[in-house]
Amino acid sequence: MKVVILAGGRGTRLSEETVVKPKPLVEIGNMPILWHIMKIYSTYGFNEFIICSGYKAHMIKEFFKNYLIYKSDVVFDLKSERVDVYENKCEPWKVHVIDTGLNTETGGRIKRIEKYVKGETFMLTYGDGVADINIKKLVEFHKSHGRLATVTAVQPPGRFGHLKFLDVGSNFVAAFQEKPKGDGAFINGGFFVLEPEIFKYIKDDSTKWEEEPLETLAKESQLVAYKHIGFWKPMDTLRDKE
């Protein structure tokens, strides 16, 4: 099963980093967040990726072009102009880097890679979010309900501490919780599993995946949520990165 990663946006809210590189190449622990996302899937045996690039797409292509050299022991024979790999330490990945356009919306990017999916069930996620999600269980859940789409539902952490007062109108604090889980609501955390029929819900480059396609799938009872209660974190801002 192929893994599609949306990696073409400009990442304007992380402009401190994205002015010189695409957001998926922003580093966490000396490796791009894109690499960390791919490692999540690779851990469960999913090693073929379709990267939907756009903004500074050439840099993503260059990263994978040079990855074998960076990760392996090599010899450079300058006289014969040969480069030989002695020990390949790379993951067994097959990576398609597809330029899906500079200004294409998320739905449009998905539509553009339809021919690479080849009519098969595939996975999809965003190029800026990580989670300790069990991909095997996610796929099993998707297969069990028989609908067209599964979205991973997550609960974002609260940003501020929560005060509970003794009673209405009281100034006495009865309980204090630093950065609670949130208001209990679930949101779209990415990590989708999708059937190829979803492509018919996407019109063109201007379609946002999170609007009409997902809204229509939900109305038709074709969208099911896999609830993930563990770690999940998006990298929207510099604060998130840190």
What pLDDT is recorded for position 178? 64
> Is residue 95 a contact partner of residue 51, using CB atoms and an 8 Å limit?
yes
Q: How far apart are CA 49 and CA 42, in angstroms?
A: 10
Give residue 46's pLDDT band: very low, low, confident or very high (50, 70, 90). Answer: very high
Which range is least confidently modeled, 36-40, 82-86, 112-116? 82-86
Burial 139-156 (b: 16+ CB within 10 A, else e): bebbeeeeebbbbbbbbe
| Residue 191 CA to its chain's centroid (Å) | 7
> Confidence class of residue 182 from pLDDT cuts 50, 70 and 90?
low
Distance CA 176, CA 161 (A): 7
Collapsed DSSP state (helix, strand, coil) of residue 149: strand
Q: What share of the chain is helix, strand, coil (3-state, %, to 5)?
A: 30, 30, 40
Domains annotated for the chain, with CATH where assigned, are: 3-155+184-241 (3.90.550.10)
Work out the average pLDDT over 79-86: 87
194 close to 139: Cβ distance less than 8 angstroms: no
pLDDT, mean over the chain: 91
Would you place residue 174 in the very low, low, confident or very high pLDDT band (cuts 50, 70, 90)? confident
Please state, in angstroms and as integers, the Cα–Cα distance from residue 176 to each residue in 155, 172, 173, 184, following that order: 20, 11, 7, 17
CA-based Rg of the chain, rounded to a whole angstrom?
21
**Cβ(138)–Cβ(45) below 8 Å:** no
Angle separating helix axes 33-43 and 135-145, nearest 10 degrees: 70
Q: List, in sequence order, every residue forming a beta bridge with 150; answer none if it has no partner.
A: 193, 224
Q: Is residue 32 a contact partner of residue 25, using CB atoms and an 8 Å limit?
A: yes
Cα separation of 93 and 38, whole Å?
Answer: 9
Residue 40's nearest CA partner among 126, 133, 122 is 133
Q: Rounded to a whole number, what is the distance in angstroms from the first to the last CA of the chain? A: 33
Measured distance CA(54)–CA(19) in Å, rounded:
14
User: Is pLDDT larger for residue 190 or for residue 161?
Assistant: 190
pLDDT at 161 over 80: no
Residue with tokens 């801002």: 237
